[in-house]
Amino acid sequence: MSVTRTAARSGAVIAASSGLLATAFAPSAHAIAGDGSNRLAKDVATAPAVQVANDARLNIESKAVKVTPAPEPEPEPVVETTTEQVTATTAAAEAEPATPDYASDGSIGAQAVSIAMQYIGIAYAYGGSSPATGFDCSGLVKYVYAQLGVELPHSSSSMVATGYQVSSPIPGDIVWTQGHVSLYAGGGMVVEAANYGSPVRYTEQWQDYAVYIRPY
C-alpha cells in the first residue's frame, strides 16, 4: 500500500489507498507568525508514511460482565382456612348472645332448662308467652313446661300454689319471689325473663328469700 502526501498552504491531507482518510488543517494565511500555527503544516508534511494491510482489522476484546440479580423476596406463608373453620367462625359471630352449655340428666326439670336455654336473647314483652311475641317472667316458665305436657298458669302469683315446695332446688324448679319467677338451672344459676329491656338471660340467681317450687 502507498500513501500520497500533499501539503497545501491552507492544510495537509493524508490519503491511504485502503480507504482510510485523515485530514489536518494548517493555519490560514491570516495566522500570526511566530505563534506556532505554521508548525502543524510542516509536521504533517514531513510525517513518515503509514502502511496498513488491506485486510487489517481492529479487534477489541471485551470481557463479559456477569450480573447476579438480587434474590426475589420470599412469599408470605399461605394459611389455609378450611370450610369447617369458616363455618365455625361465622356461627360464633352470629351467636349473640351465646347459649351456655347445659348437660341435661333427662329428668323433666332438666329438660325444661334445656328448652329454656333455646330462648336466651328473646326480647322481654309484658304478657308475652311465646318466642314470636316475646316473654315475660311467668310466660317463659309456662311456655317451657307446656312443651313437656305440664300446664301452668300465666301468673307468677298463681304459680306459688302449683306443684309443691322444696327446700333445696334442682334444675327445673321454679324460683318464686313476690312478683317474679325464674327457672333454676343448677349451680346457683337461673334462666329468666327479668324485665322490659332485658332479653331472656342465663344469670346468677339474684332473688333473696326465694321459694322453690317443683311443678311436676
Show Cβ contacts of residue 203 under 8 Å, excluding neighbours closer than 6 positions: 189, 190, 192
Asked which of 80-94, 165-179, 200-214 is least confident by mean pLDDT, the reply is: 80-94
pLDDT confidence of residue 157? 94
Give pLDDT, residue 130.
Answer: 96
Using DSSP, how many helices (H) and how many strands (E) does the chain show? 5, 11
What is the residue extent of each domain of the chain?
A: 1-65, 102-214
Within 8 A by CB and 6+ apart from 74, the residues are none
pTM, two decimal places: 0.54
Class of the 102-214 domain? alpha beta
Residue 184 clears pLDDT 60, i.e. is over it: yes
> Per-residue pLDDT averaged across 168-179, rounded?
96
Task: State pLDDT tens for residues 57-94.
Answer: 766 665 666 666 666 666 655 556 566 654 554 444 44
Spatial distance between the Cα atoms of 171 and 190, rounded to a whole number of angstroms: 9
Least confident segment among 5-9, 128-132, 134-138, 175-179: 5-9
**Residues sharing a CB contact under 8 Å with residue 136, sequence separation 6 or more, in sequence order:** 124, 125, 126, 127, 128, 129, 193
Cell 331472656 appears where? 200
The number of angstroms, rounded, from the C-alpha of 65 to the middle of its chain's C-alpha atoms is: 45
Across 177-200, b (16+ Cβ under 10 Å) vs e yields eeebbbbbbbeebbbbbbeeeeeb
CA distance 134 to 177: 22
Cβ atoms within 10 Å of 213's Cβ, excluding its own: 22
Each residue of 118-162: pLDDT tens digit?
A: 999 999 999 999 999 999 999 999 999 999 999 999 999 999 999
What is the tens place of the pLDDT at every residue in 18-70? 443 334 344 444 444 445 555 655 665 666 666 766 776 766 665 666 666 66
Window from 11-15, 108-112, 172-176, 183-187 with minimum mean pLDDT: 11-15
pLDDT score, position 177: 96
For residue 195, which of 124, 116, 131 has the smallest C-alpha distance? 124
CA distance 52 to 16: 8
In terms of DSSP H, where are the helices of the chain? 37-46, 83-94, 108-117, 137-146, 156-159
